[in-house]
Amino acid sequence: MKSLIYLSEGFRREMRFVAIGNANVDIKIFVERIPNPDESMDALAASVSAGGAASNFAIAAAKIGVESHIVACLGGDNLGRIYLETLKRCGVNTSHVKVVEGMRTGLVVILNVLGEDRRMIESVGANDELTPSDIFDRRDLLTSADEVHMASVRPEIAESVLEVRKDASWDPGMRIIRRYRSEVWSLLSKTGKLFLNEREAEAISGEGDPLTYITKIASKGPNEVIVKMGSRGSLAWVEGEIYKVDAIPVKVVDTTGAGDIFAAVYLRARRRGYGVEDCLRLANAASAIKVSRPSTVNGMPNWDEIQTMSLMFYGKRA
Ligand code: RIB
């Protein structure tokens, strides 16, 4: 039987997740359209908040009731200091965050244009300072976790993590796939669970049809392949079976962080022993709630909200 982890504040958490990868400050701007050259226009809304796929995952994990730790690099600047406070306020354990003096914290400008996919401009800053030895130094943390999840990490980091935890999950993201496609492809044979969105699955496999690309990616050897398909739902390959679950239709306001909470919810539900379709339903429900809210950090739903949304739409209790 799984032992419960008791925290000093008196909370009981049934599992521990470790997120490894990017922590960015997201500058999010909502606009009606992209301005023309030399044109200045008013934003519809704007925000500055903690972001980065690993950090979003860690915050989401804490929100759904998991003991959450993060291994990431922040700059020794004011943004890094504010960022650390945000993570702590969200219930994420920051003991394994590396603060790199003289470096800037990662920065991403996210343009949310009405009715279009978001556009992102990224300056990696301190994120690139994460090294394989940082991973080996945290071996005890990694082995103590129920789930280790990597997001936006370079292949050399993924390889070090997979040496310690063969079952670690990986959401490489488009930036890493574009830069290191062949290295990512080779590492798939060692990866536990692989999370991709549709564009990433197409880019890495060179295939356009979902059943073809998921089968081709699975043939490389990861234990599970999960594809987040936005308004088309989600797809998973697990032990030779393919599962597809429809999305919950909602008005999309902001997709940032939706894929990250999807991964956290899927992993928690899998760890609890739920069937693959139930895990996809809950993960879809979490993403649907998140995309309907404009904030990444404050927009992450809790487990009760996710279960209710899933039950209301799919009519099944997971
Ligand atoms: O996964 C979403 C994240 O990707 C954003 O928060 C942004 O920082 C980008 O890295």
Please give the pLDDT value at position 115: 87
Task: Report the separation in Å between the CA atom of 302 and the middle of ligand 1, taken as the mean of its atom positions.
Answer: 20
Task: Report the separation in Å between the CA atom of 1 and the middle of ligand 1, taken as the mean of its atom positions.
Answer: 36
CA atoms of 5 and 45, how far apart (whole Å): 41
pLDDT per position as a tens digit, 16-53: 999 999 999 999 999 999 999 999 999 999 999 999 99
Region 155-159: mean pLDDT is 98
Please give the pLDDT value at position 2: 43
Domain boundary assignment for the chain: 13-33+44-314
Task: Report the separation in Å between the CA atom of 227 and the middle of ligand 1, taken as the mean of its atom positions.
Answer: 17
Region 144-169: mean pLDDT is 98
Please give the pLDDT value at position 11: 46
Task: Report the separation in Å between the CA atom of 267 and the middle of ligand 1, taken as the mean of its atom positions.
Answer: 19
Q: Would you place residue 6 in the very low, low, confident or very high pLDDT band (cuts 50, 70, 90)?
A: very low
Closest ligand 1 atom to 259 CA:
1
The enclosing H or E element of 213 equals helix 210-218
Please give the pLDDT value at position 117: 87
What tokens were used for 72? Answer: 């990431």
Region 233-242: mean pLDDT is 98
As a whole number of Å, the CA-based R_g of the chain is: 19
Closest ligand 1 atom to 24 CA:
8
User: Residue of the nearest CA to atom 10 in ligand 1?
Assistant: 52
CA atoms of 207 and 298, how far apart (whole Å): 36
- 191 to each of 8, 26, 267, 276, 298, how far by Cα in Å? 34, 28, 14, 18, 31
CATH placement of domain 13-33+44-314: 3.40.1190.20
Region 160-173: mean pLDDT is 98
**Contact at 8 Å (CB) between 92 and 58?**
yes
pLDDT per position as a tens digit, 70-122: 999 999 999 999 999 999 999 999 999 999 999 999 999 999 999 888 999 99
- What is the reported pTM? 0.95
Please give the pLDDT value at position 12: 52
Region 135-150: mean pLDDT is 98
